[in-house]
Structure 1
Amino acid sequence: MMRTILIWVIKLTAVIILLQTLFFKFTGASESIYIFSTLGVEPYGRIGSGIIELIASLLILIPRTTLIGALLGLVTMFGAILSHFTILGIEVQNDGGFLFVLAIITFICCFILVHINRNKISSLVRLKI
C-alpha cells in the first residue's frame, strides 16, 4: 500500500512538472522562445519537445505504459540537463536555476520509474515473430 502511494507520488511529480511546462511551450512564452532560440531549434524544438513531454506524461500515468513514458521523460530531461550544462547555463533569464532544478527532479523521478519497471524492459525489446 505504502509502496503504491510512493510510486504514484513519483509519477505525479514527474507528470505535473512535464505538463506545467507545456503551457509555456505551446503558447510561445518569451522564456521558452528564448531557450529554444538560444539552442538554435526555435520553434520546432520547442513544439516537438512539448509534444514528446505530453506523450511521456500520458504514458507515465497508464500503468501498462509507465516504463515507455518514463524512458521518454528520462531521455528528454537528459537533453534538457545537457543543454543547461553546455549552452544555457544553470540559470536562465534570472530564474535562479529553477528550470534546471525542475529538469533534475523530473529526471530523478523518471529514473526511479524506469528502475521500478526494469523487469519489463526485456518485453519492450523482444521481437515477436
Structure 2
Amino acid sequence: MQSSRNQKITLWLLSIFVIVIFVQSLFFKFTDSPETQYIFGTLDKWGASLGFPGLFGHSGIFSQYVVGTGELIASSLLFIGLITKKSLVHAIAALISLGVISGAIFFHLFTPLGVQVLNTDGTYDGGELFSLACGVWISSAFILFLRRDTILMAVRQFAQPAR
C-alpha cells in the first residue's frame, strides 16, 4: 500500500515539474521574446548553413510555435492524465514530453546554440536552460518507467490481430 502511495506522489511531483517548466516556457515562445529570437535564430542560421533555410524560422516545421505547441499538448495531457487517473493518457503525455525535450537537448549539444545560452543582457545563463531540459528529460523518462505496465498492456492490445 505504501509503495503505491509513494508511486502516486512521485508521479505527481515529476509531472508537476515538467508541467511548470513547459508552461513557463510558453510565454517566451508565444510572445517571440528576445531569448526565443536568439535561440531559434541561432538554430535557423545553423539550419541554413546545412541547406535548410527557414527550418527554425517563424513558419518553419521546427519553429518556436511548433515546439511550444508540443510542450502545451504534453503538459496538458500530463495534467489531464493525472486528474482523470488515465494512466495511458499520462504515459502518452510523458512520451510526447520526452520527444520534445530530446530535440531540445540535441540542439543544445550538437549545434552552435551550445549548453550555455546568451541572455538579453549579454551574459550567459550558465547552462540553466540546458539543466532544466535535462531535468524534464529525466522526469519524463521516469514517468514512462513508472507507467511501463500500462504501456506494455497497450502495446500488447494493439499488437493482437483483429478477430
Structure 1, unmatched stretches of 5+, are none
Q: Find the counterpart in structure 1 of residue 52 from structure 2.
A: none
The yes-or-no answer on 1:34 pairing with 2:52 is: no
In the superposition, the TM-score normalised over structure 1's length comes to 0.92
Deviation at residue 43 of structure 1 after TM alignment: 1.6
Deviations, residues 41-63 of structure 1 (Å, cap 9, x unaligned): 02241000000000000111223
Q: State the match for 1:68 in structure 2.
A: 92
Q: Are the counterparts in 2 of residues 33 and 42 from structure 1 also a CA contact under 8 Å? A: no
Which structure would you say has the larger RCO, counting Cα contacts within 8 Å and 6 or more residues apart? 1
- Mapped to 2, the partners of 1:60 and 1:8 lie a distance apart of 9
- Give the letter for the 2:116 counterpart: E
2:71 is the alignment partner of 1:53: yes
Whole-Å separation in 2 of the counterparts to 1:7 and 1:121: 15
The question of 1:80 aligning with 2:80 is answered no
- Structure showing greater Rg: 2
Once the 2 structures are TM-superposed, how far is the Cα of residue 32 of structure 1 from its aligned partner? 0.6
TM-score (norm 2): 0.74
Q: How does 1:16-31 map to 2 (within 5 A)?
A: 16-31=20-35
Output one character per residue of 1:27-84: Cα deviation in whole Å (capped at 9) or x when no partner.
1001111111111102241000000000000111223211111001101111101100
2:139 paired with 1:109: yes
State the number of aligned residues.
129
Runs of 4+ in 1 over 6 A off after TM superposition: none
The 5 Å alignment of 1:85-104 reads 85-87=109-111, 88-93=113-118, 94-104=124-134
What's the C-alpha RMSD, in Å, of the aligned pairs?
A: 1.5
C-alpha distance in 2 between matches for 1:76 and 1:14: 12
Gaps of at least 5 residues in structure 2 are 45-55, 119-123
The residue identity in structure 1 corresponding to 2:80 is I
Task: Give the fraction of aligned pairs with identical amino acids, expressed as a percent.
Answer: 35
Q: Distance in 1 between matches of 2:105 and 2:12?
A: 24
Point out the structure with the larger helix share: 1
The whole-number CA distance in structure 2 between the counterparts of 1:46 and 1:60 is 21
